[in-house]
């Protein structure tokens, strides 16, 4: 995977991940008898909660898959993203660049053994639930620390049971009241209903001080297209109410279900009014300070889905941070979005600046011009045809 392609995708897709460039380059692993067979059988039971009926398996679309061969092919890249984030490394730490199927690097073999170990630990100790992941030990380093660290300041031991008890103690505001306050802070449901479209122009800043023009088109109730103007052409992230896609010049990637989840949330035109109904259970805890503002952490949960965390300003009620997760076969991939520079536009408060961050990557969009209730051509929301298989991708198994 070349670095230019990867950076293009990371910026364009709001750090959804290097999905397109990875699809062009990733060539993983193929069945090998022995100890791996048990890990395959055990591990696939606690992989990402996605149905594989009718979906091609990883071994049918990628070369030399040995551990994750039976998982859906579209889950391979999220799994690789989770591993690189957990170890704080890049693709080439394990893979040969432009020849991802080769086993030339010892680290690739180690990674396979580590996945076997992780699956077996969860099977034998946690009823096949995914309690232990790559990050449990690595925490951003290729070499997990084996000796307790001596800190600069003395720390009191954490009493987990008491900590949880204190955090969930009565006295915190009811989640429903805070979510209603968030809706009121942006202008209320009636004001949101009066906004039918939004067109924004701005600048994205990433990789230090690199700047790119951005155009965003949104239409009620749930259509959104973001176009980033790169030196090599336009890069697009879109959701049209039914499907989502990512594209760079010459390549289109149709989003899988976990990727679509985030894009659909971004496209939810009346998110402050609709968020309460997206999850079946909500709870409130004191949140961390964001830009020196005290927050309430309101967490939404729903069976079989990752949680959603909302950090609401204790004074204004506005959303300062949203944290959501994409489930992968090996663990959750987090996305954090910080919102700032709220301004009133046609009776509703809109964030004019947001920063999207994932492990090791972040970028900021600053809106410079915003218009609402203006015509937006429906043609902008027509999904392009997906790219065909990469020339080096093996044909599906018969």
Which strand (E) or helix (H) includes residue 25? helix 19-25
Res 98: pLDDT: 87
Contacts of 69 (CB under 8 A, 6+ apart): 29, 30, 31, 40, 57, 58, 59
What's the mean per-residue pLDDT of the chain?
Answer: 83
Length of the chain: 398
Measured between alpha carbons, how far is 7 from 21 in angstroms, rounded to an integer? 9
Res 333: pLDDT: 92
Which strand (E) or helix (H) includes residue 162? helix 160-167
Angle value at C-alpha 390, between 263 and 265, nearest 5 degrees: 5
Q: What is the mean pLDDT of residues 61-90?
A: 90
Res 87: pLDDT: 92
Res 304: pLDDT: 87
Q: What is the pLDDT of residues 342-356, one digit of tens each?
A: 999 999 999 999 999
Report phi then psi at 289, rounded to 5: -75, 135
Res 1: pLDDT: 37
Contacts of 247 (CB under 8 A, 6+ apart): 20, 235, 236, 253, 384
> Taking the domains of the chain in order of start, what are their residue ranges?
3-138, 175-381
Q: What is the pLDDT of residues 232-275, one digit of tens each?
A: 899 999 999 999 999 999 899 898 888 898 899 999 999 999 99
Q: What is the pLDDT of residues 113-164, one digit of tens each?
A: 999 999 999 999 999 999 999 999 999 999 988 888 888 877 766 655 444 4
**The CATH number of domain 175-381, selected from 2.50.20.10, 3.40.50.460, 3.40.50.300, 3.30.70.270:** 2.50.20.10
Give the residue with greater pLDDT, 251 vs 42: 251
pLDDT higher than 60, residue 165: no
Res 190: pLDDT: 97
């Amino acid at each position: 995977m070349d670095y230019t392609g990867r950076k293009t995708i990371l910026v364009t897709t709001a750090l959804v991940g290097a999905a397109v460039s990875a699809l062009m380059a990733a060539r993983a692993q193929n069945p090998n008898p022995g100890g791996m067979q048990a890990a395959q059988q055990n591990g696939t039971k606690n992989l990402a909660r996605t149905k594989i009926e009718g979906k091609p398996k990883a071994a049918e679309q990628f070369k030399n898959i040995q551990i994750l061969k039976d998982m859906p092919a579209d889950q391979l890249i999220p799994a690789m993203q989770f591993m690189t984030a957990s170890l704080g490394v890049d693709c080439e730490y394990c893979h040969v660049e432009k020849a991802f199927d080769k086993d030339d690097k010892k680290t690739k073999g180690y990674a396979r053994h580590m996945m076997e170990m992780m699956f077996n630990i969860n099977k034998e100790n946690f009823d096949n639930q995914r309690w232990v992941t790559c990050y449990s030990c690595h925490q951003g380093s290729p070499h997990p620390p084996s000796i307790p660290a001596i800190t600069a300041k003395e720390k009191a031991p954490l009493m987990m049971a008491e900590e949880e008890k204190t955090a969930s103690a009565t006295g915190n505001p009811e989640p429903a009241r805070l979510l209603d306050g968030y809706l009121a802070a942006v202008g209320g449901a009636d004001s949101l209903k009066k906004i039918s479209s939004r067109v924004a122009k701005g600048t994205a800043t990433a990789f230090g001080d690199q700047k790119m023009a951005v155009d965003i088109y949104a239409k009620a109730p749930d259509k959104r297209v973001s176009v980033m103007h790169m030196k090599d052409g336009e890069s697009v992230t879109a959701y049209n109410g039914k499907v989502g896609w990512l594209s760079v010049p010459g390549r289109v990637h149709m989003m899988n279900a976990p990727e679509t989840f985030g894009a659909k949330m971004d496209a939810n035109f009346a998110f402050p009014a609709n968020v309460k109904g997206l999850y079946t259970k909500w709870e409130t805890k004191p949140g961390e300070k964001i830009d020196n503002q005290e927050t309430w952490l309101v967490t939404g949960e729903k069976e079989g889905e990752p949680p959603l965390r909302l950090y609401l300003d204790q004074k204004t009620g506005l959303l300062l941070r949203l944290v959501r997760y994409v489930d992968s076969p090996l663990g959750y991939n987090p996305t954090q979005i910080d919102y700032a520079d709220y301004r009133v536009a046609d009776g509703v408060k809109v964030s004019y600046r947001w920063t999207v961050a994932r492990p090791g990557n972040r970028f900021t969009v600053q809106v410079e011009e915003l218009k609402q209730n203006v015509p937006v051509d429906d043609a902008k929301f027509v999904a392009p045809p997906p790219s065909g298989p990469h020339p080096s991708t093996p044909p599906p198994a018969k």
